[in-house]
Amino acid sequence: MVHLRGRRGYPPPRASRRQRRRGGVTAWDPRALPSLAGRTVVVTGGNAGVGYFTSEQLAAAGVRVVIAARSAEKAQLAIDSIRSRVPGAELAHVRLDLTSLASVREAAEALAAFRPLDGLVNNAGRVVASRHRLTTEDGFEATVGGNFLGHFALTTLLFPALAEGGRVVGLGSDSTRMVRLEPDDLWSERRYRPFRAYGFSKHAVQGFHLELARRLAAAGDSRLSLLAHPGWATNSYAERRPGITDRDPRGGRIFETLTGWVGQGKDRGAWPAVRAIADPDAVNGEFFGPRREMSGPPVPTTPVASSADPAFGAALWADAEQKTGIRFPL
Ligand SMILES: NC(=O)c1ccc[n+]([C@@H]2O[C@H](COP(=O)([O-])OP(=O)(O)OC[C@H]3O[C@@H](n4cnc5c(N)ncnc54)[C@H](OP(=O)(O)O)[C@@H]3O)[C@@H](O)[C@H]2O)c1
């Protein structure tokens, strides 16, 4: 019997150099997952990309996967694709648009019906931000508003449905190493650049999940908050999944083909998030990423200091509670 519950304590212990070479604190084979039968995990954006492969790999390990996605049609395509590879897989879809707090509330209510939840993978995201500053239905800059604020609201509302020892996993990014965090302009009110806004959204996702880990540890709560990043993961270098890996526009496919060789396919890009859910030895606050940064098997890694700063996490949390009007039950 494999428990999703990991060791507690924050911050997590650092892996030695030898352990890292072996794949982390414990050796980890992403192609030989332990049985996770009987578990239920929600994957936001589980219809495409890294989220799709996360769902497929978890389903293959026996997890009942609930795909939270904005399009019922795309979610069904993903469900059919997974079922064709994992006969008998238990899968469901719940509608979720992260750029609408009303939609997040409805989704949280529908997802709570699957309780107790063993995991919530906060994967969905607007990766290529719009050329001009757009806002969510509730009036917040759309990239930070969807990628971070939508997930903050979803996690907060779903937290009571999370089982003892359950896990929340956020999708961080190496863009946080390229975009300097400016906490006083997180919502791009002063200046808007698409990649800057995307980098800010990922700083916020990392800051949120690390703050959650600190709060869980302080409260002595058995639930875990973790992070994962896929490196540079493309559909061009992933195993083919008709209608899913070939959905990018032509320009995007050419870009991915030209640059993706330094990274890996989205199937492998899913490995760090899958490890965060499946590794029984994962610890609260741990961050998994590819061993060679852009590619490779999933190993423990470290977030940039600015995302991990407790002062940033605390301010972000207060701002998110104020903007959503939702208080975290901790
Ligand atoms: N790929 C990489 O190299 C890379 C690197 C670092 C971090 N990441 C992170 O990994 C995660 C997945 O990336 P990916 O490359 O797999 O992206 P992707 O292929 O573009 O897929 C994004 C997913 O998010 C969904 N989504 C976007 N906006 C949404 C919204 N408002 N409400 C609900 N769902 C929404 C999309 O739904 P639709 O199908 O309806 O559009 C899709 O399912 C993201 O959080 C990203 O920041 C990726």
What's the average model confidence in pLDDT over 203-227?
A: 98
pLDDT at 12: 56
Our mutation pick for probing the ligand 1 site, out of 52, 66, 127, counting the most ligand atoms within 8 A of Cβ, is 127
Catalytic residue among 10, 52, 192, 198: 198
Atom of ligand 1 nearest to the CA of 142: 31
* Ligand 1: centre distance to CA 45 (Å): 6
Interatomic CA distance for residues 208 and 210, integer angstroms: 5
Tell me whether residue 198 is one of the annotated catalytic residues. yes
- Please give the backbone phi and psi of residue 157, each rounded to the nearest 5 degrees, phi first: -70, -35
List ligand 1's pocket residues with C-beta within 6 A.
45, 47-51, 69-71, 74, 96-99, 123-127, 146, 171, 173, 229-230, 232-233, 266, 269
13 or 133: which leads in pLDDT: 133
Helix (H) / strand (E) containing 318? helix 310-324
Given a cut of 70, whether residue 231 has pLDDT beyond it is: yes
Q: What is the pLDDT of residues 79-103, one digit of tens each?
A: 999 999 999 999 999 999 999 999 9
Residue 126 CA, ligand 1 centroid: distance in Å: 5
> Which residue among 56, 123, 292 is best mutated to probe the pocket of ligand 1, counting the most ligand atoms within 8 A of its Cβ?
123
Examine the pLDDT at 8 and tell me if it is beyond 70. no
Which amino acid, residue 317?
W
Which pTM was predicted? 0.94
CB 290 within 8 A of CB 296: yes
Interacting residues of 193 by C-beta distance below 8 A, sequence separation 6+: none
Using DSSP, state whether 319 is helix, strand or coil: helix
* Domain 36-324: top CATH class: alpha beta
Instruction: Answer yes or no: is pLDDT of 324 > 90.
Output: yes
Q: Domain map of the chain by residue range?
A: 36-324
